[in-house]
Amino acid sequence: MTLKPTHDLHVTSQFGPRAASYVTSAVHASGEDLTEIAVLAEQRKPQRALDLGCGGGHVSFHVAPFAGEVTAYDLSAGMLSAVKAEAVKRRLNNIITRRGSVERIDSDDARYDFVASRYSAHHWHNIAAGLSEARRVLTPNGIAIFADAVAPEVPLLDTHLQAIELLRDSSHVRDYAPSEWVEFLKAAGFKPGAPKLRRIRMEFASWVTRMATPEVNIKAIRALQSTMPRDVADYFELEADGSFTIDAMTIEAAP
Ligand SMILES: C[S@@+](CC[C@H](N)C(=O)[O-])C[C@H]1O[C@@H](n2cnc3c(N)ncnc32)[C@H](O)[C@@H]1O
């Protein structure tokens, strides 16, 4: 039997070739969560900010105008090259890039006074380790903010969401429910605030194109959608073309 690559290698092979589309993706380049992160950065004016799982760099680009320095951190070298090039275009010369895993951040303790992560934690192979690392590198007077897609607290809805997420992107691990986020953050040593929830619409064609979802998986997602119980389809506001709406959350966490 041929051994498959580890999850982290799988993440880099999923994201690396698609870096450019994450820089331009409308879902990633804008959103209330990005505004919230920018507002918090403006209030805090951090000396050193860390963007965990930076992807196309949108958090870094929004924090950089208010920070001394921003480290855009990701497993994928392809993503980091795209962030570097875009930072030059935007004349944001205080963004540096660093490659690594959130589960083992290459940093001294208490180095960053602002830690942010957006739309990344649902790919981490070990969220408990990632959050505990985020807590370790945060200064005692710093602040962390996390934004991600979240699962409904109802198992029926949760199962349908994770199933289509995994079919769309085989590096998907789990959209955690808000209550799970709160528990993970507490276990990592954070004092989490109240989760702020919102809804975001996923336009089907661009959602699968961005991840180059194989045709066979697209068909499987459409098949699952066609047999979704009405209460599930209603919850996700399922549309005729497969577009749907999910929950997303922002949560601040103090050390
Ligand atoms: C959807 S993209 C992030 C989007 C970006 N943060 C934004 O706001 O537009 C997810 C990113 O998380 C990164 N990632 C996933 N697991 C990781 C891990 N364990 N350590 C570091 N980066 C990781 C991936 O390489 C990918 O670039």
| 46 ligand 1 Cβ < 6 A | no
Return the pLDDT at 17: 79
* CATH number belonging to the domain at 7-152+169-200+247-254, selected among 3.40.720.10, 3.20.20.70, 3.40.50.150, 3.30.420.40: 3.40.50.150
Q: Whose CA is nearest to atom 23 of ligand 1?
A: 53
With bands split at pLDDT 50, 70 and 90, how would you rate the model's confidence at 1? low
Mutation probe of ligand 1 site: the residue of 58, 75, 106, 168 with most atoms within 8 A of C-beta: 75
pLDDT tens column, 126-151: 999 999 999 999 999 999 999 999 99
Residue with the bigger pLDDT between 226 and 3: it is 226
Domain ranges, ordered by start, for the chain: 7-152+169-200+247-254
Q: Does residue 79 have its Cβ closer than 6 Å to ligand 1?
A: yes
> Tokens 């830690």 identify what position?
115
Going by DSSP bridges, is the β-strand pair 95-99/69-74 parallel, antiparallel, or unpaired?
parallel
pLDDT tens-digit series, residues 190-220: 999 999 999 999 999 999 998 999 999 999 9
Decide: 37 and 145 in contact? Cβ < 8 Å. yes
* DSSP string for 55-121: TT-HHHHHHGGG-SEEEEEES-HHHHHHHHHHHHHTT-TTEEEEE-BTTB--S-TT-EEEEEEES-G
pLDDT at 222: 98
Q: Which atom of ligand 1 is nearest to the CA of 28?
A: 9
pLDDT digit string, tens, across residues 228-245 = 999 999 999 999 999 999
Question: Given CA atoms 102, 60, 138, 94 in this order, what sign does their dihedral have?
Answer: positive
pLDDT of residue 241: 98
pLDDT computed for residue 25 by the predictor: 77
Please name the residue whose Cα sits nearest to atom 14 of ligand 1.
53
Report how far ligand 1's centroid is from the alpha carbon of 124 (Å): 8
Taking only the tens place, the pLDDT of each residue in 156-195 is 999 999 999 999 999 999 999 999 999 999 999 999 999 9
**pLDDT range class, residue 3, cuts 50, 70, 90:** low
Whole-prediction pTM value? 0.95
Among the residue ranges 2-6, 35-39, 194-198, 241-245, the one predicted with the least confidence is: 2-6
- Are 200 and 31 contacting, i.e. CB atoms less than 8 angstroms apart? yes
Atom nearest to 55 CA in ligand 1: 27
pLDDT in tens, 74-131: 999 999 999 999 999 999 999 999 999 999 999 999 999 999 999 999 999 999 999 9
pLDDT at 107: 96
